[in-house]
């Protein structure tokens, strides 16, 4: 296992290539493409009840929302922290305290939300406490726009990967998230995630212990893209992973693309679910009722930090 010394972290952040933007900036002097400096910034932490049931359970998933993001989705529900950088600088010691506090609060797991640009720091903290003071699973919650080397730093530190597969068509990735080659990059990353954690494991209490969940967020007007993603996932991994088919797209920011200014229709969602069933998908989560609601967007409050 890597030794996450101060020098190791400094060498990475002085020429940052943590994500596929590969901007190479010295984050001690200026911000990277993600917007982050060398300092760890957190927007919020809480027991979150709205993840997949195998993560939230009855007590909640111990989510830690990191500020900034390497993917620039124009429809992002968490724009306040991902694009605007809302959050508070915290020390490595404080991150450890937050993780252990969430465990004390009864969290089923520690859920690292958008951690990519802080991986060396997070890995250093986890390396010190994993399987010692920290006894619950660690979830890496990501857009999957990841470099393999970055994911490899988290090997043996992450138990569950909660990964998006946002686009099959790279033209959508370019228009909506400002990145090229998303599908190839993300699928290689997801393959590395699966290599690390293997087939999913669920305890007798119904909580996930290890494995990979891939989220497919259906975008309005793009059912074909969602179906191609599900087809790829099922043909590649069969029933070794969990697929989460989501209808919760919420238009919170006025967008130049008219289709993104509305919710996904019931017909669109049912079309994708039916396709998954016809493929033979067995292990999947679907959403019912008012999942597409702003009430599912956390009210970020730094007063708890």
Q: What is the mean pLDDT of residues 222-236?
A: 98
The model's pLDDT over 14-52, given as tens digits with 9 standing for 90+, comes to 999 999 999 999 999 999 899 999 999 999 999 999 999
Residue at 187 is within a domain: yes
- The DSSP secondary structure of 72-122, one letter per residue, reads --TT-TTHHHHTS---EE--HHHHHHHHHHHHHTT-SSEEEES-GGGHHHH
The model's pLDDT over 254-279, given as tens digits with 9 standing for 90+, comes to 899 999 999 999 999 999 999 999 99
Residue at 201 is within a domain: yes
Residue at 109 is within a domain: yes
- 302 — pLDDT class (breaks 50, 70, 90): low
**Predicted local confidence at residue 303, as pLDDT:** 55
In this predicted structure, the answer to whether residue 294 has a pLDDT above a threshold of 60 is: no
- 103 — pLDDT class (breaks 50, 70, 90): very high
For 134, the 3-state DSSP assignment is: strand
Residue at 223 is within a domain: yes
Q: What angle do CA 287, 288, 290 make, to 5 degrees?
A: 105
DSSP-assigned beta bridge partners for residue 110 = 62, 138
What's 53's domain CATH number? 3.20.20.70
Q: What is the mean pLDDT of residues 96-114?
A: 98
Residue at 278 is within a domain: yes
**Predicted local confidence at residue 253, as pLDDT:** 81
**Predicted local confidence at residue 265, as pLDDT:** 96
Residue at 126 is within a domain: yes
For the chain, the average pLDDT equals 93
Range of the domain at 164: 6-304
pTM, to two decimals: 0.94
What are phi and psi for residue 262, nearest 5 degrees?
-140, 165
**Structural domains of the chain, count:** 1
- 288 — pLDDT class (breaks 50, 70, 90): confident
| Spatial contact of 66 and 41, defined as CB atoms under 8 Å apart | yes
Residue at 1 is within a domain: no
Residue at 288 is within a domain: yes
């Amino acid at each position: 296992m890597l030794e996450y010394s101060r020098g190791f972290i400094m060498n990475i952040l002085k020429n940052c290539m943590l994500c596929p933007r590969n901007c190479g900036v010295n984050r001690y002097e200026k911000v990277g493409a993600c917007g982050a400096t060398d300092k760890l910034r957190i927007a919020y932490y809480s027991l979150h009840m709205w993840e997949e049931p195998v993560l939230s359970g009855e007590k909640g998933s111990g989510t830690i929302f990191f500020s900034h993001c390497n993917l620039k989705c124009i429809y992002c529900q968490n724009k306040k922290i991902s694009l605007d950088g809302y959050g508070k600088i915290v020390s490595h010691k404080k991150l450890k305290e937050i993780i252990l506090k969430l465990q004390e609060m009864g969290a089923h797991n520690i859920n690292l939300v958008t951690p990519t640009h802080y991986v060396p720091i997070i890995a250093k903290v986890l390396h010190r406490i994993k399987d010692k003071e920290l006894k619950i699973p660690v979830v890496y919650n990501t857009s999957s726009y990841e470099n393999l080397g970055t994911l490899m730093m988290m090997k043996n530190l992450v138990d569950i990967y909660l990964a998006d597969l946002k686009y099959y068509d790279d033209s959508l990735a370019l228009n909506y998230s400002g990145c090229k080659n998303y599908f190839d990059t993300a699928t290689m990353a997801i393959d590395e995630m699966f290599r690390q954690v293997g087939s999913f494991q669920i305890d007798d209490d119904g909580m996930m212990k290890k494995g990979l969940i891939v989220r497919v967020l259906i975008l309005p007007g793009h059912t074909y893209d969602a179906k191609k993603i599900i087809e790829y996932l099922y043909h590649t991994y069969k029933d070794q992973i969990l697929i989460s088919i989501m209808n919760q797209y919420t238009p919170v920011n006025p967008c130049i693309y008219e289709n993104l200014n509305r919710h996904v229709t019931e017909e669109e969602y049912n079309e994708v679910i039916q396709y998954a069933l016809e493929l033979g998908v067995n292990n999947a989560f679907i959403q019912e009722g008012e999942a597409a609601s702003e009430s599912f967007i956390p009210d970020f409050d730094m007063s708890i930090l």
